[in-house]
Amino acid sequence: MKKYIISFISLVLFSATMAQNKEIAPEDLNGMRAIGSPANPKVRMSWDRYHDYAQITKFCNDLAKAYPNLVSVSSIGKSFEGRDIWALTITDTKTGKEKEKPAFYIDGGIHANELQGVEVSMYTAWYLAESFQTIPFINRLLKDKVFYILPTISPDSREHFIYKPNNSNTSRSGMRPFDNDGDGLVNEDLLDDLDGDGNIVMMRRKSKTGRWKIDPKYPSRMIMLRGDEMGDYEMLGYEGIDNDGDGLVNEDGEGTYDPNRDWAWNWQPDYVQRGALFYPGTLPETRAVKDFVVNHPNIAGAQSYHNYGGMFLRGPGAAEDEGLFSREDVAAYDVIGKLGERMIPGYNYFVLYKDLYTVYGGEIDFLCLTRGIFTFSNELMTSYKLFNQKAATGRWDNDEFNEFDKYLLFGDGYVEWKPFKHPQFGDIEIGGPKKNYIRNHPGFMLQEDAHRNMAFTLYHAYQTPKLEIVAIKTEKLSGDITAVTATIMNTRVIPTHSTFDVKNKIERPNAITLKGANVIAGMTVENEDLNLFTEQQFQPASIQVPTIRGMGNVKVRWLVKGNPNGATVEVNSAKGGVVTSKVSN
């Protein structure tokens, strides 16, 4: 009996101890915690699926409720159809004001069919909050930085992609209606889901003059023939009907503009840049994000998630802007991008216009050139990830996705071909890849790539400016005058201001101020050994410094009348935060 009483008391004491330490996830929870994963998350999420708008909303609210000292949620505006565009603010609120910390901006889902960008954004928010108490790196990061995470900035079209018939390439657009075929009618020839399965697949018809045949290895795949080989089928395009009798199928669907051509840098009209609308910021979603970024000048780094191709893209989007990226700034990008290639096998660090294609009016250039923010856009998912090797053939010729579907998905990636009586084409067959295959990760691969991309983004965030006052020294001069010299170092690779920012005065200079002393002169120390200084003639107590380079330092000096002991040196930088230190003789 005594043994049972002791066991009961031990259990009670253990439960009480656990209750007192409920903020700290235990290392073991019904077994061994897998390294790198939260052991006992307060917000339980499954990362092998794609979430709809209601689930995204619930996730944001649940995370804010579970971690009120770390996470808050707000709406930055409304989408075209009236949905809130949610923003999560994540930081340790006990270690300084949000606007006085360097910030990092993340968004996903600007293109509706690029589902996983939303999941990576959500996973990042979840991991930061759930790991704050157990992983020292995350703890320090949230003490130093603030994250603004907008999981989906095109919520209308994401909802449409999930719940309406689509193929893997529809739609990159939002839901604003347009007369796409110029016949005076709007949305009169939408996609037609002939078999009602939610997937818009391909149509084929047997033909003696056809140039296509069925792949004998993978029956779901059609092969285009070359040379003098005779085919069995002709391809009729995506599943659909000519609803308006104009001889075209699916030519007037929802939207069909591109939200990533709606930004205010090097914007071009539709006849130059396909997908652009009437002017930069035509869309309410774009305007909401733009206003949010402009109203948060502490944003020093940014990440936008897209698909497809396995790329870390930096600007510029057009060749004519290449000269706007200085050698020093490119060096900072190189540190992050080249490490990314090791962190995510199969991904490549590229320049947007040079290695992918030209983009006018893109978000990446808006962020880095109009706001001076060091920005990457990750193109998620690549065929390399299927078998962890590069394809031997081009994207449109290889059969890796069919092979992967056969051996790892057991046929779940494709709709099997089936007969259909078409009102215009007669006897046809429909089949092909499901709408969430090819571009988007299969479930079991999603969390790994989400974690790797999150890790890349957190490294980028870590390299945003961190300013430290590394030395303050005083020197008694003649009479009642004392020289106070402060050395401020940026211990990260990203400068407080890009070269383009400094040249065009996008953001205010860094202010290094001596408070609580009678300052009679202030100057920047150009070379202390050679006694080279640049005096600031007006308001000498607050010395304006245009930038503090990555892994660089600046030195400033004040001449003070009287004893400066106890005065405070304050460094106030929009993108580098606020730090202070006392003067002592």
Catalytic residues: 379
Residues constituting the chain: 585
| CA–CA distance, 145 with 465 (Å, rounded to integer) | 10
Give the CB-side neighbour count of residue 85, counting CA atoms within 13 A.
28
> What is the arrangement of strands in the sheet containing 510-515, beginning at the earlier edge strand?
542-545, 510-515, 568-573, 577-582
**Dihedral-angle region of residue 324 (phi above 0 means left; psi in -120 to 50 means alpha; beta otherwise):** alpha
* Contacts for 101 with CB less than 8 Å, ≥ 6 apart: 91, 144, 145, 146, 298, 577
* Contacts for 271 with CB less than 8 Å, ≥ 6 apart: none
First to last CA, the chain: 69
Cβ neighbourhood burial of 570 (10 Å; 0-12, 13-18, 19+):
middle
β-pair type (542-545, 84-90): unpaired
Cβ neighbourhood burial of 150 (10 Å; 0-12, 13-18, 19+):
buried
Classify 389 as helix, strand or coil. coil
Q: For residue 51, what are the β-bridge partners? A: none
Q: Buried b / exposed e across 379-388, counting CB within 10 Å, b at 16+?
A: bbbbbbbbee
* Contacts for 77 with CB less than 8 Å, ≥ 6 apart: 84, 85, 284, 285, 287, 288, 291, 292
* Contacts for 331 with CB less than 8 Å, ≥ 6 apart: 493, 550
Query: How many CB atoms lie under 10 A from the CB of residue 205?
Result: 16
Q: For residue 418, what are the β-bridge partners? A: 430
CB 544 within 8 A of CB 536: yes
Classify 513 as helix, strand or coil. strand
| CA–CA distance, 137 with 94 (Å, rounded to integer) | 17
Residue with tokens 């108490």: 133
Tokens of 39: 């052991």
Residue 60 main-chain phi, psi, to 5 deg: -60, -45
